[in-house]
Amino acid sequence: MTRSIVLIHAVRSSRTMWKGQTRRLRERGYTVIAPDLPGHGRRRGEPFTLEAALATIDEAVAACEEPPLLVGLSLGGFLTLHWAGTHPGRLAGVVAADCTIVPGPALARLYGLWITMKDWLPGDSDARVARAFARRHSDKAARRYYGGGRAHGVVRTVVQTIGSLELLTDVAAIDVPVTFVNGEHDPFRRHEALFVEAARDGRLVILDDAGHIANLSRPKRFAKVLRRAAAAGAESRLAREG
């Protein structure tokens, strides 16, 4: 079992969205690294670029004493799949949550427009978005998702970046077990069957009564999924090396 886990957060959020999982995993003896992506959290003054985001993941993986389980959700999930598919031999396993959709440039632009439209409404967009998030999840979930501040000015670059990726090609190249995790009500489930089929060793977990940010909808079960994935990844690695 690998005891190292790297967690990559969603768009406009930060490392704070993983507080529930970080606490539970560390209590069980795991080493957990949850960096902020460029343009987010403590790095909100930096521009978001694909190169800088991948460098962030690379640095976090390199800081682990053993090949870690790499976990990403939404934006973090897309980046995780791309990094894992282009960096063989570095990981014990992958968990990609709420990102099983092939966006393409057109769909990515539409999604980006939908997100940014919320900022065009009058009033305090940060407070409004946080209240809406709390209604869908809980006050605690909203505090965790936006605990590092809400990133601005990143959406256009993010959606252009994700729309340019060949995600199914990346998935097919991943050399470790991949666990896809989706909330039952996540709209990003659209192509989940394609992602599982593309993976060499893929499995799908659906979290009942969860939405797009599944780790905040079902924090305890999400942490349990990560523990199981860490164990499965380590067993697979031993089998390959043996």
Is 107 exposed, middle or buried (CB count within 10 Å of its CB: 0-12, 13-18, 19+)? middle
* pLDDT reported for residue 240: 45
Helical packing angle, 155-163 and 104-120, nearest 10°: 170
* Domain boundaries, given as residue ranges, for the chain: 4-241
Per-residue pLDDT, averaged over 24-49, amounts to 97
Higher pLDDT, 93 or 138: 93
Per-residue pLDDT, averaged over 132-158, amounts to 86
Q: What percentage of the chain has pLDDT greater than the value 70? A: 86
* pLDDT reported for residue 122: 47
Per-residue pLDDT, averaged over 140-160, amounts to 88
Among the listed residues 29, 6, 174, 182, the one whose alpha carbon sits nearest the alpha carbon of residue 89: 174
CATH of domain 4-241: 3.40.50.1820
What is the spatial distance between Cα 203 and Cα 205, in angstroms, rounded to a whole number?
7
Q: Does 235 score more than 80 pLDDT?
A: no
Q: Does 96 score more than 70 pLDDT?
A: yes
| pTM, 2 dp | 0.90
* pLDDT reported for residue 133: 77
From first CA to last CA, the distance across the chain in angstroms is 15
Q: Does 171 score more than 90 pLDDT?
A: yes
CA trace torsion 133, 139, 141, 142 (10° rounding): 50
Q: Does 15 score more than 60 pLDDT?
A: yes
Q: Does 126 score more than 70 pLDDT?
A: no
Q: What percentage of the chain has pLDDT greater than the value 90? A: 70
